[in-house]
Amino acid sequence: MHIILKGVATPEDAILAYESGCQGIVLSNHGGRQLDTSRSGLENLIDIVAALKTKGPWPNPNFAVFVDGGVRRASDVLKAIALGASAVGVGRGFLYAFSSYGQEGVERAIEILRVSKLARARALVCIGVLITWTTG
């Protein structure tokens, strides 16, 4: 059985989960309900991935890092993946969409995220191609 530990917010906890044999972690502050000033999973990602890199090659196919918190836009998804996340949870926007507009709202939110993500990904690829082209 795979064990994924949720609620990890510090590099020390991430290392402890890794060394304890977990197959992954979920970076989350549980919606910030405990402390409204706590950092989101997305904000903690850089420090946690840096700590995990000290334990061996990264990304590690035997250990996943999921981000659940701080993700509001498709660009946040791309940033998280680029910074080392294995996957990203995007829940709040869909909760709001469902609460306001039901199934149609959720379908529209999915479309917005998909189109926005694709547009940003295309822009990033074009920037990379442009840099390569201009620097030779």
List pLDDT tens digits, range 46-71: 999 999 999 999 899 999 999 987 78
Quote the DSSP letter at residue 32.
G
Residue that has been written with the tokens 């694709």 in this structure: 118
Predicted model pTM: 0.77
Higher pLDDT, 69 or 136: 69
Catalytic-residue membership of 2 = no
Which position among 7, 30, 60, 90 bears the catalytic label? 30
CA distance 124 to 68: 23
